[in-house]
Amino acid sequence: MHAFGLIEIIIATAIVSATLAGFLQVSILSVRLLRAEQYNLEAVLLAQEGMEAVRSVRDESWTNNIVPLVYGTIYYPVIVNSKWTMSTSNPGLFNNRYTRQIVFSQVFRNGTDDIASSGTPDDGTRKITVTVSWEGKNIQLVMYLTNFQGQLAGTTESKIISYEGAGTDNNLISFPSNNIGNGDPAQSFTTLAAAPKVTRVDALIRRTTPSPSNIYAEIRATPTGAALSTSNLITGSSIAASPATWVEFRFAPEISLSASTLYYIVLRSIPSSTNVASGSAGSINWIYLQTPPSPYSGGAARRYIGRLSNPLDAGQQLDQYDFGFKVYALQ
């Protein structure tokens, strides 16, 4: 009787063990399938983001950003100065796993204007292939990108005023002042005879610390006056460290300015560089040039606006100095 009970226990134990082993295998397989699905989903999202990066670059300028790209060359979408750009330098793995590449291909059209493998080249269209690879696997998304803006009639954005001869790279402005409240820098400019609708200003700047405060631009009628318009926010860490680059500040909607009038481009930070102990961080150089009487006759550089929490402090005008700047308007 006892022997028979022992045999039953052994058989039952074997059955339970086999069942548990089966459940374990099923669980392991389920985890693997879930992980594979997760990786595939992440890859698809990265590829879709790559498509959006290409559209963003196209929307900024087909002529400057798409036309120079070489067919068949591998490009990597990277963010520089808070906007997408196409780089030939590999930025490395995403999440230590994925590689994302973009290839631009020439498009041909046949006699009925349909896309074909051969025929007449269509210079206003590109085939875009985004590939995301990981662990021996990859997914691809393909789309056709067109220069739709070039086919639209209407106004265009053009540079109307600028000073582009700045070349001195020093910390002239103490901005964002690294928590000590040294105020904001500005560059004044004079509009032309026709009243412009300004869409953006560019500043020639670079960061000199890893993570300065985020910054934005204002257009004012006086150094300490109210902002007539405020630009988008630029992430401080996205500003190039070297060399200095033209960083774009956009105003949406465009701002209408008076003709033949003096205005100020004021750079500001979050937290504010005008307030002591506000938490403003790091340092940014606005590239300038000093020559007597002035490199740009229509305005002058200015620093320390609103310093030490004084909103009425117009700062120091630097009559022989001008910062690198560009003003764009609808034409």
Tell me: the pLDDT tens digits for 80-126? 888 999 999 999 998 899 999 999 999 999 988 899 999 999 989 99
pLDDT at site 1: 47
Strands 99-109 and 115-116: antiparallel
Number of helices and strands in the chain (H, E) = 2, 19
Give the contacts of 169 (CB within 8 A, at least 6 positions apart). 206, 244, 285, 287
Question: Against a cut of 0.85, is the pTM above it?
Answer: no
Alpha helical stretches, state H, the chain: 2-60, 62-65
Q: How confident is the model at residue 161 (pLDDT cuts 50, 70, 90)?
A: very high
Q: What percent of the chain has pLDDT over 70?
A: 88
pLDDT at site 92: 92
- Above 80 in pLDDT, residue 10? no
The CATH 2.60.120 domain(s) of the chain lie at 157-330
> Phi/psi class of residue 309: alpha, beta or left (left: φ > 0; alpha: ψ in -120 to 50)?
left
Strands (DSSP E) found in 69-196: 74-80, 83-87, 99-109, 115-116, 120-134, 137-146, 157-163, 184-190
**3-class DSSP assignment, residue 206:** strand
Cα dihedral sign, 17-18-20-21:
positive
Q: Are 108 and 120 in contact (CB under 8 A)?
A: yes
Question: Across residues 135-150, what is the average pLDDT?
Answer: 90
pLDDT at site 266: 98
**How many Cβ atoms from other residues are within 10 Å of residue 174's Cβ?**
18
Q: Are 177 and 272 in contact (CB under 8 A)?
A: no
- Above 70 in pLDDT, residue 16? no
The distance in angstroms from the start CA to the end CA of the chain is 103
- Is CATH 2.60.120 correct for 157-330? yes
pLDDT at site 186: 98
- Above 90 in pLDDT, residue 312? yes
**Beta bridge mates, 83:** 80
Give the contacts of 62 (CB within 8 A, at least 6 positions apart). 124, 147, 149, 150
Give the contacts of 228 (CB within 8 A, at least 6 positions apart). 218, 219, 220, 221, 255, 257, 263
Tell me: the pLDDT tens digits for 173-183? 999 999 999 99
Give long-range contacts, CB 8 A cutoff, 24+ apart: 218-221. 218/265, 218/266, 218/268, 219/251, 219/255, 219/257, 219/263, 219/264, 219/265, 219/266, 220/186, 220/263, 220/264, 220/266, 221/261, 221/262, 221/263, 221/264
- Above 70 in pLDDT, residue 133? yes
